[in-house]
Amino acid sequence: MNYYVTTPIYYVNAKPHLGHAYTTIVNDVLARFHRLDGYDSYFLTGTDEHGDKIVRAAQAEGRTPREYVDQISSLFKAAWPGLAISNDDFIRTTEERHKTVVSRFMDLVNRNGDIYFGEYGGHYCFGCERFYTEKELVDGLCPDHQVKPEYVSEKNYFFRMGNYQDWLIDYVKANPDFIRPERYKNEVLGFLKDPLEDLCISRPKSRLTWGIDIPFDDDFVTYVWFDALINYISALGWPDGELYHKYWPVAQHTIAKDILKPHAIYWPTMLKSAGLPIYRHLNVHGYWQIGFSKMSKSVGNVVEALTMADKYGTDAFRYFLAREMTFGLDSEFSEDRLVERFDSDLANDLGNLWQRSLAMIKKFSGGLIPTGPEAEGQPDEPEWRGRAEDLISAWRLAFDSVNPRGAMTAVWEYVGLLNKTIDSEAPWALARDPEKAPRLAAVLARLAEGLALVSALFWPVMPATAEAMWTRLGLDPAAMSTDPKTIREKLASGRPPTVGEAFFPRIDAEGKAAGKAAGQGQAPGGTKAPGGTKAAEGAQAAEGGPGDGGGEPVGIDEFRRLDLRVAKVEAAERVPKSEKLIKLSLSLGQSQRTVVAGIGKRYRPEELVGRTVVIVANLAPAKLMGLKSQGMVLAATDPDGRLELLSPGDAAPGSKVS
C-alpha cells in the first residue's frame, strides 16, 4: 500500500509562519499516520520561486532573485526539522530537475493541441499573479489584496482549459471525495457553473525573465502557476521515474482554501490534457486567523511558528494545531488557548494519567508491569478490549478522512477512560486486600497497555513524546505498534518501566485547566502524583469554576492526602505580562513559600496583603511564567464565575485545615 501527500510549495516572499506550519504539520501527521499503519508513504514539500512577486520581493531587499530565493528557501528548509517534519523530499522550482519536467509537460500539452497564441487584456493583480475578470473584482479591487489591479494587455500563450470544463464537472461529481471536505467540492462546482475561460500560461520576457523558458518560444517564460503545479510530478521524476510510477497513482494534495481554484481546476485540466492520471484527493483546510482577520504581513499579525514551538515545545505546538482546527473551517489562533489546551489535555489528562499509573505500578507491583494470567482472567476483559478496538477504528477513520482533530479527540476520550478507571477501581484500595490481587494486576496491566496504545496513536502528532513514553515503558519505540495484542506481547517481554520527569509540566496551574477537570468530575481523588510523591490537584476543583458539587465520590483516605494549611499573605505583586497571575509570598508560621495564583482579575495585590488564605501545601511545584509556585490558594467560584478566596479568619498561619 502506497501513499503520497504534498504541501503547497510556498512562495519565498515571506518567512515560514503559522499558516505554512499548519499545512506542513498536517501533511506530516498524515504521512506518519500512514507509515505507522503499514503504508509505504512519501511526503513532499518545497518552495515556489518564480514570478513577478518574487522579483519584486528581491528588489525590495536589494538582492538578485537568485540570491534572494536561495536565502528564503533555505529558511523554509531549515524550519521544518524544528517542527519534526519528516518530508522525504524538498523541491525548489528553480532546480534543473523541475525545469526539465515543466518544459516536457508543456510540450506535450502543446502537441495535444491545447495551447494557442493570442492577445489578452485584463485586470492583472501582481500580488496574486493572475488576471481577474470584472465579475471577480470586489468594488474594482482584488478580493485578496484590496488593491486595484493594473490593466495589462499583451500577446501570450493560452491553455484551452475551457475544453475540459464538462469533463471536470462530471469528474468532480463522479468522485465525491475528490475534493474534501464537501463544502469545497461545492465551491468548485459553483465556479464551474460559469464558463471556464482559457488560462494565460506565459509571460513575455520583455516584462519578466524570472521564469522557466517556454520550450517552443524563446521570447516567453511560463506563468508561475503552470510551472508550480507541475512540482508534484517533477519531484517524482515524471515521466519515467520509479517514484512517479509508485506514488503518483495515490497522490493527495493538502492546501488551504486560498489556492483552491488552481488546484481544483487548473491542475486536473492540465493533467487531463497531458494524458496523466488525476490525483486522488484534494484536502482543503481553512485559515488560521488572528483577531478574526486573516494573518498577513501587512496587518502585522503573523505568528512565527518556530517561536511558538520553542516556547511550548514542538510536540505541544503540533498537538494544539492538530487538535484545535476543524479541518476545512477557519480557526482563531490565540496563545492563551494554546496554554489552556496544554494544561488541560497534556499536563492534566495525559500527564496525570502517566504519573499516576507509573507511580502505582512502582508502589503496588514492585515496579513491574503485571502481564500474567490474572490480567487475562477478568470477566470484563472482553468489553475492555472491545473499547480499545473501537478507539483504534475511530482513530483510523478520522485520519483516513483527514480529520486530525477527530483522531486526537478519540485518543483523549480513551485517556479520560483510563483516568476514570483509576478513580473507579481505586488500585490503592485493591492493594489492601490480598484477594483483590488479580484485579489489581489486571487494572495496572490495562493502564500500562493503555498508555502504550494511546502514545502510539498520538505518535503521528507528537512523535517525540510517544517515543519517549514507549522507551520509559520499557518498549522499543522503533517497533511502535497500534495493535493491542502486539503491545501486550511487547510489554510481557519488555524492560521495567521508569517514571521520569513530567512530560508536560503545567504552564498555568490556575483556573482554566482546573475548571475543566472539575467540570468533568475527573479531578477529585488527587489526579497528580508526580514522581510518586503525594499531591492533590483535586483541590483545584474548589477554584475551578462553577459546578454542582457532583462528580465521583472521594474516599476519606484520598481526601487525607491533601495537606491544607492556613497561610498569611506577607507580600503580593503582579506577575509581569500576565493579567491573571499574582505572586504571593506566604507565611505558614514556621516556613515561607511562594505561590503564584490566578486571581489577578478579581483582586488587586494591595488588597491581599495581611489576609489569611487556605492553601494546598503539598501540591507538586509548578512553573508559571518562569516562577516556581509551591502550592495553590483555594477559592470558591459562584455560578456567575465570580471568585472569592476562602478565608480561615483568625486561625494562625501554619494551622492544618481538615
CA angle 645, 650, 653 (to 5 degrees): 80
User: Which of these segments, 255-263, 402-410, 465-473, 628-636, binds ligand ME8 (CB under 6 A)?
Assistant: 255-263
Return the number of the residue (98 or 272) whose C-beta is nearest ligand ME8: 98
The C-alpha cell at 209 is 525573465
Q: Does 179 bind ligand ME8 (CB under 6 A)?
A: no
In the set 72, 200, 221, 255, which binds ligand ME8 (CB under 6 A)?
A: 255
Return the number of the residue (144 or 217) whose C-beta is nearest ligand ME8: 144
Alpha-helix runs per DSSP H in 217-324: 224-229, 231-234, 242-247, 260-261, 267-274, 305-312, 314-324
Residue 559's identity, in one-letter code, is F
With a CB cutoff of 8 Å and minimum separation 6, the contacts of 56 are 13, 126
Partners of 199 in the β-ladder: 159
In the set 152, 189, 259, 426, which binds ligand ME8 (CB under 6 A)?
A: 259
The C-alpha cell at 564 is 491544607
The C-alpha cell at 566 is 492556613
User: Which of these segments, 80-88, 250-258, 546-554, 611-619, binds ligand ME8 (CB under 6 A)?
Assistant: 250-258
Residue 201 Cβ, how far from ligand ME8 at the closest point, in Å? 14
Q: Does 320 bind ligand ME8 (CB under 6 A)?
A: no
Binding mask 47-76 for ligand ME8 (x = CB under 6 A): -x----------------------------
Catalytic residue among 98, 128, 272, 580: 128
With a CB cutoff of 8 Å and minimum separation 6, the contacts of 583 are 572, 573, 574, 575, 594, 595, 596, 627
Q: From 389, 362, 361, select the one nearest 375 (Cα to Cα).
A: 361
Q: Does 294 bind ligand ME8 (CB under 6 A)?
A: yes
User: Which of these segments, 3-11, 130-138, 334-342, 530-538, binds ligand ME8 (CB under 6 A)?
Assistant: 3-11
Residue 98 Cβ, how far from ligand ME8 at the closest point, in Å? 11
Catalytic residue among 17, 98, 185, 512: 17
Please state whether beta strands 251-256 and 2-11 pair in parallel, antiparallel, or not at all (unpaired). parallel
Q: Does 128 bind ligand ME8 (CB under 6 A)?
A: no
Alpha-helix runs per DSSP H in 235-372: 242-247, 260-261, 267-274, 305-312, 314-324, 335-341, 352-364
Task: Look up 145 and say whether it is catalytic.
Answer: yes
Return the number of the residue (20 or 99) whose C-beta is nearest ligand ME8: 20
The C-alpha cell at 205 is 520576457
User: Which of these segments, 241-249, 252-260, 339-347, 390-398, binds ligand ME8 (CB under 6 A)?
Assistant: 252-260
Binding mask 30-49 for ligand ME8 (x = CB under 6 A): ------------------x-
Q: From 357, 327, 323, select the one nearest 254 (Cα to Cα).
A: 327
Task: Look up 20 and say whether it is catalytic.
Answer: yes
In the set 3, 4, 16, 20, which binds ligand ME8 (CB under 6 A)?
A: 20
Task: Look up 294 and say whether it is catalytic.
Answer: yes
Please state whether beta strands 115-125 and 150-159 pair in parallel, antiparallel, or not at all (unpaired). antiparallel
Q: Using CB atoms within 10 A of its CB, is residue 42 exposed (0-12), middle (13-18) or buried (19+)?
A: buried
* Total residues binding ligand ME8 (CB under 6 A): 20
Residue 196 Cβ, how far from ligand ME8 at the closest point, in Å? 19
Catalytic residue among 34, 142, 285, 580: 142
Give φ, ψ of 379 to 5 degrees.
Answer: -60, -30
- CA atoms of 248 and 231, how far apart (whole Å): 12
Long-range contacts of the stretch 462-467 (C-beta < 8 A, 24+): 462/315, 462/316, 462/318, 462/319, 463/32, 463/84, 463/86, 463/315, 464/84, 464/314, 464/315, 465/315, 465/503
Residue 22 Cβ, how far from ligand ME8 at the closest point, in Å? 5
- CA atoms of 409 and 406, how far apart (whole Å): 5
How far from the centroid of its chain's Cα atoms is residue 107's Cα?
Answer: 41
Q: Does 22 bind ligand ME8 (CB under 6 A)?
A: yes
Residue 331 Cβ, how far from ligand ME8 at the closest point, in Å? 8
Residue 10 Cβ, how far from ligand ME8 at the closest point, in Å? 4
In the set 287, 327, 414, 504, which binds ligand ME8 (CB under 6 A)?
A: 287
User: Which of these segments, 150-158, 191-199, 287-295, 354-362, binds ligand ME8 (CB under 6 A)?
Assistant: 287-295
Q: Does 288 bind ligand ME8 (CB under 6 A)?
A: yes
- CA atoms of 491 and 452, how far apart (whole Å): 9
Q: Does 256 bind ligand ME8 (CB under 6 A)?
A: yes
CA separation, residue 203 to residues 36, 120, 159, 265 (Å) = 45, 11, 13, 20
Q: Does 11 bind ligand ME8 (CB under 6 A)?
A: yes
In the set 4, 10, 76, 159, which binds ligand ME8 (CB under 6 A)?
A: 10
Task: Look up 297 and say whether it is catalytic.
Answer: yes
Give φ, ψ of 364 to 5 degrees.
Answer: -105, -5
Return the number of the residue (127 or 162) whose C-beta is nearest ligand ME8: 127
Catalytic machinery residues: 17, 20, 125, 128, 142, 145, 294, 297
Which residues are at the interface with ligand ME8 (CB under 6 A)? Answer: 8-11, 19-20, 22-23, 48, 228-229, 231, 255-256, 258-259, 287-288, 294-295
